[in-house]
Amino acid sequence: MDSPRLVELGQQLRVDSVRAAAAAGSGHPTSSMSAADLLAVLFARRFRYDFERPAHPGNDRFVLSKGHASPLLYAAYKAAGAIDDEELLTYRMLGSRLEGHPTPRRLPWVETATGSLGQGLPVGVGIALSGKRLDRAGYRVWVLCGDSELAEGSVWEAAEHAGYEELDNLTVIVDVNRLGQRGPTRHGHDLDAYARRFRAFGWHTVEVDGHDVEDIGRAYGEAVSTAGQPTAILARTLKGKGVQDVQDREGLHGKPLPDADEAIAELGGQRDLRVRVQEPPAARAPHPVRSGDLRLPRWETGDEVATRDAYGKALAALGTARGDVVALDGEVSDSTRAEFFAKEHPDRFFECYIAEQQLVASAVGLATRGWVPYASSFAAFLTRAHDFVRMAAVGGAGINVVGSHAGVAIGEDGPSQMGVEDLAMFRAVHGSTVLYPCDAHQTAALVAAMADLDGIRYLRTSRGKTPVLYGPDEEFPVGGSKVLRSSADDRLTVVAAGVTVHEALKAADALAADGVPVRVIDLYSVKPVDRETLRTAAGQTGCLLTVEDHHPEGGLGDAVVEAFLDGRPTPRLVRLAVRDMPGSATPAEQLRTAGIDAESIAAAAQLLVESAVLR
């Protein structure tokens, strides 16, 4: 497409952005208008994509990090023939595929959900890692960012990682339009301020006039010819470009134009140009070896094994059986035990260093390319990446997240290292699965099961060694539980998971010696929870005592309560949990101080049995 038609295409994208927002009565047309020429040149001259085959292995990948500029993306889809004008005008309406911020749940051409700023580039890095290290395909990853979001630390985690990995298949286009939501950005139109930052992380940078189509075209050509470095194109643009009443003016972010008809006329009226996006080059999708012969590790009953060790060994075994499994870690693989996978499958292991946002973002990017990622770090540090987990769920990404060193049971390191909020955090994620195994064989089985689940899957592992309770052939269906102690005379039920299962068993043995039989349930599946087993136990014993190495809010106790929120009578429920801020102490001292050790469980049970409420 020649330059005059490129200029016209940019104007068409502006007009259609204005029309879409006007029809919706909301949206971000001015943010779309600033980047219109950037996207017009990309689609017309550089982007290689088959809209009929979004899974084509040779397709370039485009991520709209500034997801609020969705009218621009949808206008480009219309120009490419992927949607029609009628659908464009359903923008933001109930039932429309064209949401306020794009998600792959609705549109097959969208790589990842965006809208929480600062996430597009980190996920783009994950996609580029897949292309360079796993797919070994020639596709390029293009990410369009706004200048406001470059204030997010996650952007610079991504920039450093991309530079370190020499991702020359990655280009970020920064729409430097000077204005944020409430006023000017930190650096305004100072392109060099951004360029210095990217160059410090090993990027090749190009500064351009973001409304000069030839200048933009040259920049894209420079990006694709640069070897050994990712490229950042820093484009000076004007928000609301082309309409005098709104161009480069504050106070108009996130609002339809005051007079859409007048603005459309000023932009030259409606057009119906079509852009022929280049065909992707021929490419073969990787075919990972999948032997189907999964040989999980085995231990002897009674052996002392940390569930984190079982995780690492099971993941390595899963990686042998399935070539689509990849592992990522946040520079603690010697503690999470992801190092076992790294040693056996170094080509499929990704070291993300201490950058938990990039860790999860890389996992999301790899998942978009069909890989099955397991991302691990300390449970406490995954809180930093929670927004990436949340947005992964919004986009329907399938990733496995593993948090080690959970709870006060880690001992002397103290509260900064203790994950005591993680169950609540992951339970709150839409469509998530939350698992908390208590022994090695249970851990291994659940690691394998996670690979075939959908959505966000979280596995909680422990630092200290615990006895192997189950045999190697025991089955642990997701959504299930195990009843470890049971009799017709049980006075109450103790519900535990992970390290507290072992404390509950000790307490049950001590209570039995005193003539007080209690039931013990290993609730390894925290979400979904085994409602039927809990309801049966409640009906037969009259009281449930939950014990968890976690804060009382949102953890095991709350999961148990929700099993009874269907209108039926709720049983008496007492919860033992970590209620005070811990300090440094041995693991045994930590459990005792928190009131979740065997002695505390037995004492609580005795009080309940002696109370008049119980039969």
Measured CA to CA, the distance from residue 89 to residue 19 in angstroms comes to: 7
Place of tokens 């050509």: 221
Q: Which neighbouring-strand residues pair with 576? A: 547
Q: How many CA atoms lie within 13 A of 68 on its CB side?
A: 21
Specify whether 356 is catalytic.
Answer: yes
The closest of 515, 497, 492 to 572, measured between CA atoms, is 492
Measured CA to CA, the distance from residue 231 to residue 227 in angstroms comes to: 9
First to last CA, the chain: 83
Q: Which amino acid is at 384?
A: R
CB 471 within 8 A of CB 520: no
| Parallel/antiparallel/unpaired status of strands 519-522 and 465-467 | unpaired
3-state secondary structure string across 246-294:
CCCCCCCCCCCCCCHHHHHHHCCCCCCCCCCCECCCCCCCCCCCECCCC
Q: How many CA atoms lie within 13 A of 317 on its CB side?
A: 19
Q: Out of 99, 111, 157, 356, pick the active-site residue.
A: 356
Q: Dihedral sign, CA of 387, 458, 429, 564?
A: negative
CB 270 within 8 A of CB 264: yes
CB 34 within 8 A of CB 239: yes
Helix (H, G, I), strand (E, B) or coil at 23: helix
Measured CA to CA, the distance from residue 169 to residue 409 in angstroms comes to: 44
Q: How many CA atoms lie within 13 A of 499 on its CB side?
A: 28
Measured CA to CA, the distance from residue 365 to residue 111 in angstroms comes to: 8
Phi, psi of 306 (to 5 degrees): -75, 140
The closest of 112, 1, 55 to 280, measured between CA atoms, is 55
Measured CA to CA, the distance from residue 312 to residue 339 in angstroms comes to: 7
| Parallel/antiparallel/unpaired status of strands 231-236 and 170-176 | parallel
Total count of residues recorded for the chain: 615
CB 524 within 8 A of CB 446: yes
Q: Supply 90's token pair.
A: 């359903």
The closest of 347, 419, 332, 411 to 380, measured between CA atoms, is 419
Helix (H, G, I), strand (E, B) or coil at 141: strand
Measured CA to CA, the distance from residue 458 to residue 601 in angstroms comes to: 27
Measured CA to CA, the distance from residue 392 to residue 588 in angstroms comes to: 37
Exposed/middle/buried for residue 182 (C-beta within 10 Å: 0-12, 13-18, 19+)? exposed
Give the residue numbers annotated as catalytic, written as ranges.
356
